[in-house]
Amino acid sequence: MSRPPSNLKGWLAHYGELVGAWAKRNSRPCDAEDAAQDVMAGLLTGGNSGVLNGKSYLYRAAQNRLISEIRRQTRQDEVALEAWAVDDPAQWHDPESSVRARQLADALERALASLPLKKRQAYVWCRLEGYSQPEVAARMGLALNTVERYIMDATREVRDQLQHFCPD
């Protein structure tokens, strides 16, 4: 077991590796740098007394920070259906809205059908049915990192196929 570095130089030795690893895992480089800096700042201000394996701690802490940032960025404000109807009543009477909704549903169905079976199953269970990634891994008998990769790949492929439905 490696001991945590006790000085700034020891912690910073992992900085470049940490940023590079997270930038490769579907994170923007600026988000990876922010996460690494936040983790390093926390450690350097005295938060490293209980850390037994410095490198493992850095990776896990940065991962948690990135996940929190992704969740924050994707969070949508909820609007009550009644308020939306008052703000945009024309949307309810738009004859094309049901056609566009059907086109989107059909495109999603085609996008899911184009995925390899295991990727599709992992994606559906996690993103549509609400199972956690560890639950999906257990159900499929696969390693967690394999399921994570399947879901990331499937998300990217579905997003690419449905991008023309998103407004510019």
Residues 93-129 have pLDDT tens digits of 667 777 777 888 888 899 999 999 999 999 999 888 8
144, part of any domain: yes
Q: For residue 4, what pLDDT is reported?
A: 46
Q: For residue 1, what pLDDT is reported?
A: 43
Residues 10-65 have pLDDT tens digits of 666 777 777 777 666 655 677 677 777 777 777 666 655 666 676 777 777 777 77
Q: For residue 165, report the phi and psi dihedrals to the nearest 5 degrees.
A: -85, -15
Element (H, E) at 23: helix 15-24
Question: Any idea which residue has 């802490």 for tokens?
Answer: 61
Q: How far apart are the first and last CA of the chain?
A: 50
107, part of any domain: yes
158, part of any domain: yes
Q: In whole angstroms, give the CA distance from residue 97 to residue 49.
A: 58
Query: Is residue 159's pLDDT more than 80?
Result: yes
62, part of any domain: yes
In terms of Cα–Cα distance, which of 51, 49, 14 is closest to 35?
14
Q: In whole angstroms, give the CA distance from residue 135 to residue 153.
A: 18
* Eight-class DSSP state of 25: T
Residues 6-16 have pLDDT tens digits of 555 666 677 77
Q: What is the dihedral of CA 7, 12, 14, 15, to 10 degrees?
A: 150
83, part of any domain: no
Please tell me the total count of domains within the chain: 1
The tally of CA atoms less than 13 A away on the side-chain side of residue 165 is: 17
pLDDT band of 86, cuts 50, 70, 90: low
129, part of any domain: yes
14, part of any domain: no
pLDDT band of 140, cuts 50, 70, 90: very high
Cβ within 8 Å of residue 144, ≥6 positions away: 133, 134, 137
Domain that holds residue 123: 55-76+96-165
pTM of the model: 0.45
CATH of the domain at 138: 1.10.10.10
What mean pLDDT is predicted for residues 53-80?
A: 69
Q: For residue 138, what pLDDT is reported?
A: 94
38, part of any domain: no
Q: In whole angstroms, give the CA distance from residue 67 to residue 51.
A: 21
